[in-house]
Amino acid sequence: MKKHLLFLGAPGAGKGTQAALVSKANSYLHLSTGDLLRKEIEMNSTLGKEVKDIMNRGELVSDNLVLEIVKKNLDQDNNGWILDGFPRNLSQANSLNEVLINLNQPLEIVFYLDIPEEVLIKRLLLRGRKDDNEETIRTRLNIYKKTTEPLIRYFDDLSLLNYIDANRDPKTISSDIKLKMA
Ligand code: ADP
């Protein structure tokens, strides 16, 4: 059973939903950088104040900042972990690589949740989070295409990539993932 997982895919692809299911079933740490940042905003912490406007515009917060959050969380005792929303660019992927070498916990599998763009936009508008309005969605999808999508090739070259058709119901996707994790 794989213990060190990563979910890759556009905003709205269902990474969070699937990561939560795997986390619950296996007591793995679910490390969603988006959720962790939103918590900081809710707490009105210094960090939260720093990232609030950036996130509401749909832009990426600084690499150093998310890296610190990821490091802090990976340092906790765990049965396994799932990264969701990190890395989002090549520089973050390289930093992650170094962190994992130091922890001696190499990444074992990457699930790439693929879904057509028009489905994504519909899903995000239905979800209605603060950063789910049309303008912000456009920004997030553009950033995704430009800076995050190259990671598909990056992880494929490392033979870690597993393609998942994410345009299906959550249960079907989940059993697909379960099979591939075994
Ligand atoms: P989604 O993938 O649906 O856009 P997330 O919850 O993963 O939602 O991310 C929401 C926002 O949090 C992003 O638009 C960005 O501002 C910030 N964020 C999350 N993860 C990262 C990251 N790894 N690097 C930079 N910014 C991030």
At 78 the pLDDT is: 95
For residue 51, which atom of ligand 1 is closest to its CA?
Answer: 16
At 132 the pLDDT is: 95
Q: What percent of the chain has pLDDT over 90?
A: 99
Report the pLDDT averaged over residues 82-100: 98
The preferred substitution site among 121, 137, 139, 140 for testing ligand 1, maximizing ligand atoms within 8 Å of CB, is: 140
Label residue 2 by pLDDT band (50, 70, 90).
very high
Label residue 53 by pLDDT band (50, 70, 90).
very high
- The helix (H) or strand (E) run that includes residue 30 is strand 29-32
Q: Is 107 in the pocket of ligand 1 (CB under 6 A)?
A: no
Q: Report the predicted TM-score, pTM, of the whole model to 2 decimal places.
A: 0.95
The preferred substitution site among 6, 17, 33, 72 for testing ligand 1, maximizing ligand atoms within 8 Å of CB, is: 33
DSSP β-bridge partners for residue 20: none
> Distance from the CA of 60 to the center of ligand 1, in angstroms?
6
At 114 the pLDDT is: 98
Q: How far apart are the C-alpha atoms of 82 and 147, rounded to whole Å?
A: 21
Q: Do residues 90 and 152 touch, judged by C-beta distance below 8 A?
A: no
> What rounded mean pLDDT belongs to the chain?
97
At 89 the pLDDT is: 98
> Distance from the CA of 34 to the center of ligand 1, in angstroms?
5
Report the pLDDT averaged over residues 135-157: 97
The preferred substitution site among 67, 92, 131 for testing ligand 1, maximizing ligand atoms within 8 Å of CB, is: 131
Residue 34, token pair as written in the block? 């988006």
DSSP β-bridge partners for residue 29: 81
Q: What percent of the chain has pLDDT over 70?
A: 100
> Distance from the CA of 84 to the center of ligand 1, in angstroms?
9
Q: How far apart are the C-alpha atoms of 86 and 33, rounded to whole Å?
A: 6
Nearest protein Cα to ligand 1, atom 12? 34
